[in-house]
Amino acid sequence: MASKLKLRVNGVTREVDSAPDTPLLYVLTDEMHLQGPRFGCGLSQCGSCSVLLDGAEIRSCVTPVSAVNGKSVTTLEGLPQWYAEQKTLAKAPELHPIQQAVIDEQAVQCGYCYNGLIVKAAELLSKNTRPSDRQIREAMNGHLCRCGTYPRMMRAIRRASEMMRDAHSGAETTAADETELAANATGDSAEVAR
Ligand code: FES
Ligand code: FES
């Protein structure tokens, strides 16, 4: 008998009964009863099924569960804990800053796409705490919102970026921060010039 697959989902190691070629999305929703990732297109086109795999966004509708054996998957539900681990916080917040910002900006309309938008934005902010508008647009480009909430999501990402910086405002600006700021300013200037 084949050995079961094991994956770490939102910090908990889980054994999986599904066949190895089962889409990860089905395992997360049907076997683990998680409600964040959603089925949209099933073709890697819309982003509603997105999760983080070792911190990088993937489309769970086209990812066989065998491909994530032994790896760490974070869903919408696990973002606060994932954020706390990244920032070495003693305790996970109730919500990841982007989740809070989406609420504060009242960004959601029907909400169907928002799993993917939030997961992708969390990935972006984990790599770049000061994304320029151009960088936000580039990062979010593969996520479809049929309600057209893109401007509100843009505001939510900017707000989350500020919240994350405010939370760590005691830290001195590092050389990496200065480089990031300069790069963002250059990128936005170039965009305005186009
Ligand atoms: S359902 Fe996976 S990308 Fe659309
Ligand atoms: S809020 Fe309805 S699809 Fe995005």
CA distance 69 to 15: 10
Tell me the whole-structure pTM to 2 decimals. Answer: 0.88
Q: What is the pLDDT of residues 79-130, one digit of tens each?
A: 999 999 999 999 999 999 999 999 999 999 999 999 999 999 999 999 999 9
**144 touches ligand 1 (CB under 6 Å):** no
CA distance 161 to 158: 5
Q: How far apart are the first and last CA of the chain?
A: 61
Kindly list the structural domains of the chain, giving each domain's residue range(s) and its CATH number in brackets, ordered by start. Answer: 5-77 (3.10.20.30), 79-168 (1.10.150.120)
Q: Over the Cα atoms of the chain, what is R_g?
A: 18
CA distance 194 to 98: 30
Q: What is the pLDDT of residues 124-156, one digit of tens each?
A: 999 999 999 999 999 999 999 999 999 999 999
Ligand nearest to the CA of 48: 1
Ligand 1 pocket mutation pick from 38, 45, 140 by most atoms within 8 angstroms of CB: 45
Residue 53 forms beta bridges with which residues?
A: 56, 73
Distance in Å, CA 180 to ligand 2 centroid = 31
